[in-house]
Amino acid sequence: MGQEMKTKPNPQRQLMVRPVGLLIIFGALLNGQAEPSPSPVRIAFEVASVKQNQSGQLAMPSRTNGRMYSATNIALRRVIAAAYGVPADRVLGGPSWLGSDSLDMRLVGGDRFDITATLPESTNARQVPEMLRTLLAERFRLMAHVEVRKAPIYALTLVRTNGSLGSQLRKSAFDCEAATPDAPKLGAAGVVSETPVNHEHCQSELGGQILGRGQRLSSLARMLSLVVGRLVVDRTGLTGGYDFELRFPELETPADVAAKSSDPVAGVFSALRDQLGLRLENDRTDLDFVVIDRVERPTEN
């Protein structure tokens, strides 16, 4: 993980490079020589199992429940994304067995794995990404670096200047995120989260529709990011919890739409305007991209 960076700056791409790995900090000169300080201790799972899954079934979301982390039938590119806190489409390079993004928002091809692990005592779900990085380095020999690139995003904004909303977007009496401020959030990257609190007024769903009950608009932006394949940031200025329900054909029949259209998410723009009174505006910003330098198939358990 401590691989020296050899990437040269390219002003035209406005690219910055940051190495990912252990930082060696040199101490005071002793006897005319510089001695490195001890390397920081990396947090690791107490026990971890990695097995290849050849069932062909749908992948299950990664999750942490208490001291148990699990991911079923998952592509390694998705695990790397969760470990570094970026969407899977911002994990670049690597062999074909890592899987690749498709037009209907799935990772296709490549190998699939079942990963189960136990967190050490006195740790929590917020530390799981670091544990995943340790597991990837030890079991998959992963070496990677982060590049900051100027990339396109969407800004979620109001359509009407008077602030009026669409019929399927309403202010909620509940702000579910405020009710559980310490709970880890599930971002567009699929970052590991603890099992959500079961609250009758709180609901978040991305399936045949995009549904929210008592959710902030930042939650809607995260779900839209998964649909449009680009980071969406909330710039509506609306605060607190909202109830929303968004439907468009691409969510219901993604395979058919992908086969018929070169733009498989075109319907989301008109649906946002007509149903929620919102729109997506083009913008650009600096984003982190994880670039894979080396990775190997896992060692046996």
Measure CA of the first residue to CA of the last residue in the chain; give whole Å: 21
Range list of β-strands (E), 43-142: 47-52, 60-65, 68-74, 91-92, 100-101, 107-108, 113-118
Instruction: Please classify residue 281 by burial: count the beta carbons closer than 10 Å to its beta carbon, then call 0-12 exposed, 13-18 middle and 19+ buried.
Output: exposed
Give the C-alpha separation, 167 to 240, whole Å: 18
pTM of the predicted protein model: 0.66
Mean pLDDT of 129-153: 96
Number of helices followed by number of strands (H, E) in the chain = 7, 17
Condensed to tens digits (0 to 9), the pLDDT of residues 163-215 reads: 899 999 999 999 998 875 444 444 333 433 343 444 567 888 887 889 999 99
Full strand arrangement of the beta sheet holding 169-171: 169-171, 242-246, 210-215, 203-206
Six token digits for residue 237: 């200025």
Q: Tokens 């590119």 — which residue?
A: 77
Condensed to tens digits (0 to 9), the pLDDT of residues 265-292 reads: 678 999 999 999 999 999 999 999 999 9
Higher pLDDT, 223 or 207: 223
Sort strands 143-158 and 232-234 into parallel, antiparallel or unpaired. Answer: parallel
**Is residue 226 classed as helix, strand or coil in its secondary structure?**
helix
Structural domain spans, the chain: 150-286
What pLDDT, on a 0 to 100 scale, did the predictor assign at position 31? 39
Residue 138 has pLDDT above 50, yes or no: yes
88 close to 107: Cβ distance less than 8 angstroms: yes
Q: Which helix (H) or strand (E) holds 133?
A: helix 128-139
Condensed to tens digits (0 to 9), the pLDDT of residues 67-93 reads: 999 999 999 999 999 999 988 889 999
